[in-house]
């Protein structure tokens, strides 16, 4: 069985999400395209999870054998909507080194010192633009060197582009251009396109207003047990930066030890609750100066 080749037994759940839940949505839309609108909540959830599982795999590969990990990377690239090698030059080599500080390509302060709903929603486009030159340089470097890294670039890109074209053609052939194209778009295309954006917005929320130089307050955490179960403990970010090679199933226990040292404002319950409170309730209620982020003010003063 495939599960026998896992590095961590907890990743049996990862296998269920990746190989049952992810293809379930396209399969349902392919069989019953009229259901596509009802499947939108599932599409948004699987889109987010595609980013989470991609992030987890790039830090701690799922399998013991390299060949399985490379096949899995190709598979994830299809659902993630981007070849997952793109995490190497920007996330691993840069973001984990500078942690949203000076030198971080994706710094939340690179566009503006102000935090706002527009800054959060536009961050994925800006972050993508800032990352592209470094991804391009990485591809050029591995092409010159050749070997397995360049093969990964080619195969992941081919699985992404070829897989989506093939599935779109199948949807159109079975259900016609309008019905099939719409079903593909909402069940496959948009979820894949949104997955990187979801990860970048999450990165923004986990770092905006935090102190990159603080040993304790460099990241914001979302501590809801339900949220973290559904997202493989993706809300516990401080520990991840301190121990990037720590498996997701081990993060919660380490976070419990670190939590007393982290400012209360950086231990929010849920990501959506934090967004509603920060960008809607407090601003509409007039309790926050429009030019100063409440969390940044408290974190900076406390540091």
% the chain with pLDDT above 90: 88
Question: How far does the chain reach from its first CA to its final CA, in angstroms?
Answer: 51
Average pLDDT along the chain? 92
pLDDT tens, position by position, 149-199: 999 999 999 999 999 999 999 999 999 999 999 999 999 999 999 999 999
pLDDT tens, position by position, 45-70: 999 999 999 999 999 999 999 999 99
* Mean pLDDT in residue range 77-81: 98
Q: How far apart are CA 42 and CA 17, in angstroms?
A: 12
* CA dihedral for 130, 132, 135, 137, sign (positive or negative): negative
More confident residue, 302 or 64: 64
Question: Within a 13 Å sphere around the CA of 277, how many CA atoms are in the beta-carbon half?
Answer: 11
Average the pLDDT over each of 132-136, 159-163, 290-294 and give the range with the smallest value.
290-294
Q: Report residue 292 as tokens.
A: 């100063």
Q: How far apart are CA 188 and CA 154, in angstroms?
A: 22
- Determine the pLDDT at residue 293: 39
Cβ atoms of residues 186 and 40 within 8 Å: yes
pTM: 0.92
Q: How far apart are CA 18 and CA 49, in angstroms?
A: 9
pLDDT tens, position by position, 191-225: 999 999 999 999 999 999 999 999 999 999 999 99
Return the beta strands (E) in the chain as ranges.
Answer: 221-222, 267-268
């Amino acid at each position: 069985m495939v599960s026998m080749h896992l590095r961590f037994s907890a990743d049996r759940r990862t296998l269920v999400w990746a190989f049952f839940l992810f293809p379930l949505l396209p399969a349902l839309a392919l069989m019953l395209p009229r259901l596509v609108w009802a499947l939108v909540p599932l599409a948004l959830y699987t889109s987010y999870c595609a980013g989470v599982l991609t992030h987890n795999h790039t830090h701690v590969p799922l399998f013991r054998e390299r060949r399985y990990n490379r096949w899995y990377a190709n598979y994830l690239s299809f659902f993630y909507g981007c070849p997952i090698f793109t995490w190497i030059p920007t996330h691993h080599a840069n973001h984990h080194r500078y942690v949203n500080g000076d030198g971080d390509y994706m710094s939340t302060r690179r566009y503006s010192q102000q935090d706002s709903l527009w800054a959060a929603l536009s961050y994925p486009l800006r972050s993508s633009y800032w990352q592209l030159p470094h991804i391009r340089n990485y591809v050029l470097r591995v092409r010159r060197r050749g070997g397995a890294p360049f093969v990964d670039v080619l195969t992941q890109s081919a699985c992404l582009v070829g897989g989506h074209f093939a599935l779109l053609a199948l949807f159109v052939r079975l259900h016609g251009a309008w019905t099939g194209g719409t079903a593909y778009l909402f069940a496959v295309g948009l979820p894949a396109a949104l997955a990187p954006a979801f990860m970048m917005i999450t990165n923004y929320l986990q770092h905006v207003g935090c102190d990159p130089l603080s040993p304790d307050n460099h990241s914001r955490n979302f501590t809801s047990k339900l949220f973290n179960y559904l997202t493989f403990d993706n809300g516990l970010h401080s520990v991840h930066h301190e121990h990037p090679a720590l498996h997701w199933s081990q993060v919660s226990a380490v976070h419990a030890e670190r939590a007393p040292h982290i400012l209360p404002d950086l231990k929010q319950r849920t990501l959506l609750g934090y967004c509603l409170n920060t960008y809607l309730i407090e601003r509409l209620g007039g309790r926050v100066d429009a030019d100063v982020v409440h969390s940044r003010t408290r974190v900076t003063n406390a540091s």
